[in-house]
Amino acid sequence: MCFGLLINFNLATIFFSIGNRINELAFNFLYFPCANIDVINQFLINQNLLPFMFKNPGNLFLFTLSLTLISINLTFANNEKRLFATKRVTITGGRVQGAVTTNGVLSFRGIPYAAAPVGKLRWKAPQPPLPWKGVRNADEFSPRPVQESNLLYEFRSKEMSEDCLYLNVWTSAQSNQEKRPVYVFIHGGSFIHGDGSQPAYDGESMARQGVVYVSINYRLGVFGFMSHPELSKESGYGGSGNYGLMDQVAALQWVKQNISQFGGDPDRVTIGGESVGAQSVSAHMVSPLSRGLFKAAIAESGSLIDVRALVLPLNKSEALGIELTKFSKSGSIEDLRSIPAEKLLKLVEKGNPRRFKPVIDGYFLKENPEKTFMAGKQTNVPLLIGWNAQEVPALTLFRLRRINTKNYKAAVERIYKEKASDVLALYPAATNADVKKASGELMSDRLINYSTWKFAELHAKQKSAPVYRYLFAHPHPGLNQRTIREGNAFQVLIKKMLNKVITGTSFHASEIEYALGNLEVQDNYNWKAEDFAVSKQMQSYFINFIKNGNPNGPGIDQIPLVNWPTYKNGEFLRIDAKSSAEKEQGNERYLFFQNLEATD
């Protein structure tokens, strides 16, 4: 539309030189593109301008020229409304051009939603994106956030950079006049890994079902969550940290301002995420900065409401920043800002890379999220929430020791000390054969299930918005042989070991491809017809919820769906080849964790 405004300005200047009334005509019709020829005729008659127009050829020529340029302007504007006509949209910062996928979905990859957080903007709240000239190609994923490499993460982004604040949009809307529901997905990865390009998070399948889908990047690890007294002093609100979460807010604000250009409805935005993406969802439900930016929420396997110290008080978080400053031999924050990103990452890796966590900074988080939920002051929106049947494998408890009753008892005593007997009573294992199941259940509850359950419990108590809880119980088929054989000998060995652990279980994050309809995108697994049927079912529930705040409704390709009850007294939906509505039989294990004091 910038071209159109330039035409308007030039024409206004021309008409001003030949008389005020003709100048008025230019402004009326150039700034109201809904004008049509009948309206123009009536205006000329009412203003007694017809005699003036035909008084001499010069006036007639100028008027004809103006109508021609108006036509160009209208054509330009209407083409932008028809998304697939130009594959271009005008957004904050400028114009972008997407690409049509083989399945007829329009995708925009690598759209900047904030300025590059580099140099003096490292450890600053996200700033608006810098405008660009011309049309920006949005056909490739942006660099992923700076992070340690990890065999478990597969990326489609080609490089890593501190300049990482980008998002991706998929839409099948034919016009930006449509008002389709929007789903913004926040990736997991312990706040130290991941990005929006991962194949599991692809948005094409959701877009084909009428959802405008958005995946985002945000700052991770030390770049996204470090606090320091100097940073708190310069922030203007007396706190620091949470930059990664504020990035997410900036992305949601961008969606609010721009998603209509992609055929999305800014008033029908659902946020969702898995693992720390779900923790982020719980944070946005209590943060004052996120109010009014979404109308529903999905949390897969996680929340910040936990007996583990997932949220730090500001003084503890700042102490970690001081520690890093000393370790890096930096005299100030400015010295730390001058350290190249990859060098800083290596310095952080010499300690616990997960030590930088969300913090009660007095700005994004006013208090511990649990307190806000306990008081019923969270954002009251419909919530779809759940976890998987075997989130965490038994081996995480044993630290490479043999899985047997002796080591099981010793590990429980090491972690729970005087409470160990209570744990062993809740998770009994009389034989070595029992240990694998009991220890897997214990670690799943400790690391994932309890915090997700507590999130559901507290939100359900406010009763003004429905909660729908699930248990994903479909066994995963494991890696296919082609994938296992790829790579060097060490990688092949690791993948064989991994495959033994995951095959036949519903492990952490295994539901994502099913929920988003991305089995075909993830071609490294041994999918079978039953997996696609489960995916179609689970995706149907998610799409219905995104559209209506209720997972019940029509199934994709008219597949039948079991009625999903609201979560009131332990009701949940078990999702498998044959899904069923069930009721939880006892919650003693969760109540045990609820009564524990917070630990790291």
Measured CA to CA, the distance from residue 562 to residue 578 in angstroms comes to: 9
229-243 burial code (b ≥16 CB/10 A, e <16): bbbbeebeeebbbbb
Check: CB of residue 429 under 8 Å from CB of residue 398: no
Check: CB of residue 111 under 8 Å from CB of residue 169: yes
Instruction: Tell me the β-bridge partners of 472.
Output: 388, 575
* Catalytic site positions: 275, 391, 508
Domain 96-374 of CATH type 3.20.20.70: no
Measured from the Cβ of residue 125, the count of other Cβ atoms closer than 10 Å reads 20
Q: Which of 526, 500, 498, 497 is nearest to 513 (CA)?
A: 526
Instruction: Tell me the β-bridge partners of 185.
Output: 215, 272
Rg of the Cα atoms in the chain: 28
Residue boundaries of the structural domains of the chain: 2-81, 96-374, 390-447+473-546+554-594
The pLDDT tens digits along the chain (600 residues) read: 343 333 333 333 333 333 333 333 333 333 233 333 444 444 444 545 445 444 555 555 555 545 444 444 444 445 556 777 779 999 999 999 999 998 999 999 999 999 999 999 999 999 999 999 999 999 999 999 999 988 788 999 999 999 999 999 999 999 999 999 999 999 999 999 999 999 999 999 999 999 999 999 999 999 999 999 999 999 999 999 999 999 999 999 999 999 999 999 999 999 999 999 999 999 999 999 999 999 999 999 999 999 899 999 999 999 999 999 999 999 999 999 999 999 999 999 888 889 999 999 999 999 999 999 999 999 999 999 999 999 999 999 998 899 999 999 999 999 999 999 999 999 999 999 999 999 999 999 999 999 999 999 999 998 889 999 999 999 999 999 999 999 999 989 999 999 999 999 999 999 999 999 999 999 999 999 999 999 999 999 999 999 999 999 999 999 999 999 999 989 999 999 999 999 998 899 999 999 986 554
pTM given for the model: 0.87
User: Which helix or strand (DSSP H or E) is residue 136 part of?
Assistant: strand 135-137
Q: Which of 526, 514, 508 is nearest to 200 (CA)?
A: 514
Strand order across the 99-100 sheet: 99-100, 106-112, 166-171, 212-216, 180-186, 264-274, 296-300, 383-388, 467-472, 571-575, 580-583
Instruction: Tell me the β-bridge partners of 270.
Output: 183, 296
